[in-house]
Amino acid sequence: MAPASMKPLFSALNRRDVEEAAAEVLQALTRQVRGLIRRGLDVILPPAAFDGGPQPMTSGYSPEAWMRIDFLDAPVCDACGLPFAYDQGPGARCVACMARPPRFQRARAACLYDDASRDLILKLKHADRPDLGPLFARWLARAGTDVLAEADLLVPVPLHRRRLFVRRYNQAAEIARPLARLCCRPYLPDALIRQRPTSIQGGKSGRGRRLNVKGAFVVPERRRARLKDARIVLIDDVLTTGATAEACAKALLAAGAASVDLLVVARVREHTA
């Protein structure tokens, strides 16, 4: 029989086990209920195409819009995800990444950032359309199979609290959260914070972008233990110069992460200096 002094400890442990088991059951029931509601709504209110085209079988793009998207498949640069014209072998890197290796280990993009993909991405970012997040999550689940298979944590690129207040949601988080559910990986939305506001990156040179986000990201003290030796997959919407992703990777690696990979919805066709 355990000493009387040990009984409170055993009681606490038993209670914790029960609470965790109850939480897991509740999450499973919630997922089932959401699935039933979603299927019921699809019958009552059939899904519409995000691009305004003919009605699709499920929520997403119309067939015509799908044909216009330039989805990326291998071969790509192992470091930045830039598409190659031909296969250069496993682990091949482009000239720019060999000359200046990024702080993140690997990057993968679902598609090119061009006229066909830009409108939908900007709708998520600026037009109050967080419902587009699950669509992009499915794209990333396909594009990032190799990096997701090795991931310990999924972390979205954060917004500063002022911009988050105005926008009301973080577009990277709206992609990362359903992606974590799809690939059964832990999701840690507050692993990084943007400790100071930064101006919009658009229109800046590569150097200007790097200076704009220099020192902008930090890992909260309470999250350092969780990140230690973890393989992180950073989630964002667009990869241009990689300045934001590199600043985030620098902060995560400084906090003890074993590696940082990057998954984005789209990337520009060429490197930007």
Domain count across the chain: 2
Whether residue 257 is predicted with pLDDT greater than 60 in this model: the reply is yes
Q: Are residues 122 and 206 in the same domain?
A: yes
Q: Which of 27, 45, 63 is the last residue of a domain?
A: 45
Whether residue 68 is predicted with pLDDT greater than 50 in this model: the reply is yes
* Residue 36 placed within a domain: yes
CA distances from 271 to 82, 239, 243, 254 (A): 8, 10, 12, 26
pLDDT band at 16 (very low <50, low <70, confident <90, very high): low
Please compute the mean of the pLDDT values over residues 140-156 and round it to a whole number: 96
CA nearest to 267, candidates 86, 89, 87, 102: 102
Q: Are residues 208 and 159 in the same domain?
A: yes
Q: Are residues 79 and 153 in the same domain?
A: yes
| Domain range for 20 | 1-45
Residue 231 CB contacts under 8 Å (≥ 6 apart), including other chains: 150, 151, 152, 153, 257, 258, 259, 261
Q: What is the pLDDT of residue 212?
A: 76
Q: What is the pLDDT of residue 33?
A: 67
* Residue 33 placed within a domain: yes
Q: Are residues 247 and 112 in the same domain?
A: yes
Whether residue 108 is predicted with pLDDT greater than 90 in this model: the reply is yes
Q: Are residues 35 and 59 in the same domain?
A: no
* Residue 273 placed within a domain: no
CA distances from 215 to 38, 130, 205, 229 (A): 42, 28, 18, 22
Say which CATH number the domain at 150 has: 3.40.50.2020
The most confident of the ranges 5-19, 42-56, 186-200 is 186-200
Q: Are residues 90 and 204 in the same domain?
A: yes
Q: Are residues 4 and 91 in the same domain?
A: no
